[in-house]
Chain A
Amino acid sequence: TEQSEGHDEL
């Protein structure tokens, strides 16, 4: 999804 795109990093 668009929102979680940037949240795959720690």
Chain B
Amino acid sequence: MNIFRLAGDMTHLASVLVLLLKIHTIKSCAGVSLKTQELYALVFACRYLDIFTNFVSLYNTVMKLIFLGSSFSIVWYMRYHKVVRRSYDKDQDTFRHYFLVLPCLVLALLINEKFTFKEVMWTFSLYLEAVAILPQLVLLQRTRNIDNLTGQYVFLLGAYRGLYILNWIYRYFTEPHFVHWITWISGLVQTLLYADFFYYYYQSWKNNQKLHLPA
């Protein structure tokens, strides 16, 4: 495993921990999109179908369990926790799941490396992960009033994507036959979605101001 991949995984882990910290200690999920969190739970459930059949390393298995456990517990908190659920901006978080889920499923059925159930589900999870952040970005744009933890959460997620791209570039040059078009293109699309957010995040950091997205 190279340093970019490890750093990418660690920022991904940090993003989840920041979100859980916010929800667990402040007992608030204001500004967090439940739609995005449900999509992530679906992404991990579909991607890690091989968790008990395809052993890569202890590291991989433990990380998979953490991502599955954390994504489902975040959804549980936001839906059912008697205090946390009251802070959920339900009226602002109106993005429809199926606008994202259905096209990704159709695309995974059409474009995949192998037409088997597990492989199509794995491909579906890649396509869905690429766009799962959209409800969150829409919610940020609508509420505009972004607290630090929510801003850091989205920033860390974007950093994780950027580091994965560096990881692929590194692997392409160091490992023979490392070519994965589906992973790369969906990963690139996903990273580009953060570009706008990153721009405003950088501006607010540079000017030492509170993050504020334009209408």
Chain A residues close to B by CB (< 8 Å): 3-4, 6-10
Contact = CB atoms under 8 A, between A and B. Distances in A.
Interface of B: 5, 9, 12, 50, 54, 56-57, 60, 63-64, 67, 113-114, 119, 122, 164, 167, 180, 183
Contacts of B56: 4, 7-8
A10 B54 contact: no
A10 B60 contact: yes
B68 to A, nearest CB: 11
B9 A10 contact: yes
Contacts of A9: 5, 164, 167, 183
A4 B183 contact: no
Contacts of B164: 9
Given A3-B119, A4-B54, A10 B183 contact: no
A10 B50 contact: no
